[in-house]
Chain A
Amino acid sequence: MIQFMQQLINGLSIGSVYALMAVGYSLVYSIMSFSNFAHGGVIMLGAYFGFFALTLLKLPFILAFILACAGTTLLAILVERIAYKPLRERNAPFLYFIISAMGASILLENIVIATIGPTFRTYPAVIPRTPIQLGALAVGRLDLIMFFISAVCLTGLILFIEKTKMGKAIQAAAYNIKACALMGVNTDKIILIVFGLGGFLAGVAGVFFGMKYTVYPQIGNITTKSFIAAVFGGLGSLPGAVLGSVLLGTIETLVAGYLSSQFRDLIAFVILIGVLIFRPSGIMGKNTVDKA
């Protein structure tokens, strides 16, 4: 039982980071209906921004954190302007967006390999590694902070979307972007904000991920799993992305803990396939009707 609880805590902590990443995929999907595979590259660069702000610039943690988030926000917007905007203006089919995203992801990953190098780097110990003991359970300080800040960010995001005028415009654009533009909403600005928000959360996720594990150019492969989490919860649905991430994180750690860590990655793809076969819209996604 103790072991189970311990695994559950670990699962929740990794799930919360997945959630920060998955929300970025879902936000973009809800507006533009394509899977933004460049998001993984943005997360990876977020981890590097944080790392260099801490080690090279020797900034205090909070400042480094803010710098990393600002950097990824700008980067995400830049990717949108360069790789997607020309396609949007031409009404290109979704596939071109995906290929362009793949190109951007290859580009980002290899720029890092070419300039910084492919070596693994470890964050300096900002937060003490000693865990907090709750009875027989050990909770890592980092895990706790990760969970807390993720929760704050995600609540903030959902409040922004539910309560503000801009959030309402985003909801409208997610419902039907063309009609939204006809109603006088500046959809170009909406898309900019959506990419900015996704980029910001990518920065938070990148820094935490780097702190918990290591920083290396292929982090993007792990973000594929957060994408699966977004599909699991229902692409385009924010609460779905969060729920899917927490579930996926928990299932993964339980599988790694009780079966074999070999199956850890496999289970994610098995879930993906299962979801697509039995319920393509995911746990909370809206059932899309093909309008043809």
Chain B
Amino acid sequence: MDWFYIQGILMLAGINLIAVLGLSLLTGFTGLFSFGHAGFMAIGAYLGALMTVSPTTSPAGLGLPFAVGVIAGGAGAGIVSYFIGRITLNLKGDYFCIATLGFGEAIRLILNNVQLFGGSRGWPGVPYKSTLPAIIIVDILAVIFLANLVRSRHGRNMIAVREEELAAQIAGVNVFKYKMIALVVSAVYAGVAGVFFGHYMTFIQPKMFSMTKSTELTIIVIFGGLGSISGSVLGALLLTALPEILRAFEIWRLVFYGAAVILIMISRPKGLMGGMELTPAGIRKARNERKARVQALKESKNSQNGEVGVG
């Protein structure tokens, strides 16, 4: 395995991680599930390409610097998500999920018909701008922003919405507003991920942003553990590398992947790191909780034995 190959996997994992971190806020911390985030990635990828593709190779390109593309992609996805949120965030549980699925697929099918961007044939000639250092820097910034957001008053309100929506509402949390913030932030993350994805592949096609991609992102969040940023990081690294490790099995690898997803759901539903963080404080907290649990178990056993003795 040469460095170029490993670097490629790391870059893909880093790009996935940006989108997964956003989704982690929406799913892990606010409790909303989306099957349409590939649509936001598509918006980011196409808007980003629109900015950076040189006008000589494609009539749609503007030939602007990469940074402009990143900002435009993120902002575009965020704005679209705001309007989608306005009409769908009042839907309950399953229906919100289905609505995001519908929007994600609709975005892809609309792009299929935009001839300016090559339609379903795809859009070649996107400049290769995503470098590993750039991706790592964006990942770090994304983690720092997310960690601070989650620990702020706003983050606590989001967690309250996840835990018990009705109770949060009664306690004075503006549920709709916090759901909206989570959705828009996650869409911006997905949009930025899309820009990097497009500028890594140098070719974009609506097919890349199908429901399968959305599902993949959600699966990573769940695999890493709901409500854990370090879980999302681990999940993105492991699950992007897993198909590559299994590449020796060629066509069987997706069979294993599907089986692994079911296995995780039925055996370890909290994911790798559900609700825990890999920081010194997080580890201490998890240890204390574990101790308390063992203690409680012992006490309940003792009291049971005591009762039997009295009886």
Contact = CB atoms under 8 A, between A and B. Distances in A.
Given A276-B91, A292-B166, A92 B269 contact: yes
Contacts of B211: 224
A114 interface: yes
Most A C-beta atoms less than 10 A away, residue of B211, B218, B261, B262: B262
B294 interface: no
A106 interface: yes
B255 A99 contact: no
B218 to A, nearest CB: 7
A98 B222 CA distance: 12
Interface in B198-239: 211, 215, 218-219, 222
Contacts of A111: 255
Contacts of B94: 33-35, 94, 98, 235
Contacts of A292: 165-166
B64 interface: no
Nearest to B215: A102
B266 A83 contact: yes
Interface string B97-120: 111001101100110110000000
A266 B111 CA distance: 11
A231 B110 contact: no
A231 B266 contact: no
Nearest to B251: A114
Contacts of A96: 222, 265, 269
Contact of A277 (B88, B105, B106, B165): B88
A280 B222 CA distance: 27
Contacts of B109: 265-266, 269
B102 A272 contact: yes
A269 B102 contact: yes
A67 to B, nearest CB: 24
B133 interface: no
Interface string A75-90: 0000000110011001
B106 A266 contact: yes
B140 to A, nearest CB: 29
A98 B97 contact: yes
Contacts of A277: 87-88, 99
How extensive is the interface on chain A, given as a class?
A: 35 or more
B259 interface: yes
Chain A interface, >50% SS class: helix
Given A98-B97, A100-B261, A273 B219 contact: no
A16 to B, nearest CB: 23
A273 B255 contact: no
Nearest to B262: A103
Nearest to B210: A221
A108 B254 CA distance: 10
B92 interface: yes
B128 interface: no
Contacts of B218: 99
Q: Which of B91, B97, B102, B269 has most A Cβ within 10 Å? A: B102
B280 interface: no
Contacts of B261: 99-100, 102-103, 106-107
Contacts of B252: 110, 114
B266 A280 contact: no
A83 B262 contact: yes
B95 A280 contact: yes
B309 interface: no
Contacts of B260: 103
Contact of A100 (B110, B255, B266): B266
A106 B251 CA distance: 12
A99 B226 CA distance: 13
Contacts of B98: 35, 231, 272, 276
A262 B257 CA distance: 33
B258 interface: yes
B93 interface: yes
A22 to B, nearest CB: 14
Given A110-B255, A266-B110, A276-B95, A103 B265 contact: yes
A99 B251 contact: no
B106 A87 contact: no
A240 B67 CA distance: 50
B258 A90 contact: no
User: For A86, A96, A99, which residue has the most chain B Cβ atoms within 10 angstroms?
Assistant: A99
Contacts of A104: 258, 262
B189 interface: no
A273 B262 contact: no
B166 A100 contact: no
B258 A107 contact: yes
21 contacts: A83-B265, A94-B93, A95-B222, A96-B269, A98-B97, A99-B218, A100-B265, A102-B261, A103-B265, A106-B215, A107-B255, A107-B258, A110-B257, A113-B251, A114-B255, A224-B105, A266-B106, A269-B105, A276-B91, A276-B99, A280-B95
Given A107-B258, A107-B262, A114-B252, 13 more contacts: A34-B94, A35-B98, A87-B265, A96-B222, A99-B261, A99-B265, A102-B219, A102-B261, A107-B259, A107-B261, A228-B102, A273-B99, A292-B165
